[in-house]
Amino acid sequence: MASGHDAYKKYLKFFSARLVQALIQSRLGEEIESKCLTVAEGQDWFNMRIDELGEISAYLKSNIQNYPPFGTLTLEFLLYTPSGQCLPLESWVLSATKTPEKEDGCPLNELYHQMSTLLRSAVVSSRMTPMHRLYVKKQNLESFIIMYRVFENDDSSDMGKDKKSRKIGELVSQYGNITLELHYRTSMHFEEPEIAPET
């Protein structure tokens, strides 16, 4: 029989994979329907159906050594121009700890539902940032595209002097804590004026 820590590790593995998938897919500039379910079916973790893209799954397997990511996992989005300029726009930081079982903190069944809520909150938040509003649906090969990278620390790129930081959620369980934070650029200054967002 699996221990509580084994279940926590499994939850974190599927949560981090679906979080990365959902956030990257929200940056592709395509309409995506994420169905919420009252009862999970098959691989529909956290009562939310997310179709995984093979390219993203392969990227995670080849670039992330510690999976699930105890410690810090960062997903960064950057705007890349045909001239080679690269401008960091967003950084999503998932931090997870593993602790000895403790009395306080939510039990596993409650943690599962809290992770489901956190995943939904991330999906909603991803569509409310300046990057999504100004750039996601306007990207093309002639002007700019949005790229991503995932790595195992919180050493993200500088988002400029007017950057904003938001804590999307923090979960405290009997087996460890999970925190999701968002850092994003608000001042969009480019050396090439033709790629500045339309107002």
Q: Which strand (E) or helix (H) includes residue 73?
A: strand 71-80
Q: What mean pLDDT do residues 9-17 have?
A: 90
Alpha-carbon distance values, 194 to 15, 18, 32, 82, 140 (Å): 39, 35, 29, 12, 13
Domains of the chain, by residue range, sit at 4-195
- Eight-state DSSP code of residue 47: G
Look at the domain 4-195 and name its fold: Cell Cycle, Spindle Assembly Checkpoint Protein; Chain A (3.30.900)
**Burial of residue 190 (number of CB atoms within 10 Å: 0-12, 13-18, 19+):** middle
Higher pLDDT, 162 or 170: 170
Q: How confident is the model at residue 193 (pLDDT cuts 50, 70, 90)?
A: very low
Structure tokens at 145: 């595209």
Residues 46-64: tens digit of each pLDDT: 777 777 787 888 878 877 7
pTM for the full predicted model: 0.83
